[in-house]
Amino acid sequence: MTTGHRITVCAQQLTDAHGFDGFTMDELAEAAGVSRRTLFNYFPGKIDAVLGNIPALPEDLLEEFTEGGPGGNLVDDLCSILVHMVSTKEFTRDEAEVARRVVKANPRLMAAAHERFEGMADKFAALIVQREGEDFGTRRAHLLISMVACLYGVALNDVLANDADGLALDVAFVEALSTLRALLA
């Protein structure tokens, strides 16, 4: 488990047990087994620690996407980026349940998560327009991103509803995409 992941898991567990305002950054540092300085090297504040880091995407992957790859189909290629993002996450099923519960329970965390999503959506919309051209339009790009985000939500629900630990998030996402395609066909 990486240090950043350990800090986030501890922050989420503390939030789940005591509420977002029920613990200090010193208590979080102690729970994660790091110094306060290390904690702030990873996260600028409590909200960021609870939400965790946004997975970094390799520049070559983004470049390939904007050049029309990897497969040449916009939806498939955008989904492949999301599959890459979710397959690099370290969270277990139990950790994902706690994360979802604490975000839903706290309006500040929900707002911060939504703000993060909007920032990522804007970046991806710009990448889509760069790839497809200005005529594609930002509105269409945002619509596509919203659809992909909904698929992610469905996939996460499927994983969390699965009693066994056997369903991986990336697999559930691909299955949700296949179901959507069948519905729209």
Contact 47, 131 (CB under 8 A): no
Nearest to residue 55, comparing CAs of 99, 11, 100, 87?
87
The full set of domains in the chain, from first to last, is 1-53 (1.10.10.60), 54-184 (1.10.357.10)
Contact 103, 51 (CB under 8 A): yes
Summarised one tens digit per residue, pLDDT across range 67-116 is 999 999 999 999 888 888 877 666 788 888 999 999 999 999 999 999 99
DSSP H helix total and E strand total for the chain = 10, 0
Q: What is the DSSP string of 9-46?
A: HHHHHHHHHH-TTSS-HHHHHHHHT--HHHHHHH-SSH
pTM, two decimals, is 0.86
Summarised one tens digit per residue, pLDDT across range 1-36 is 799 999 999 999 999 999 999 999 999 999 999 999
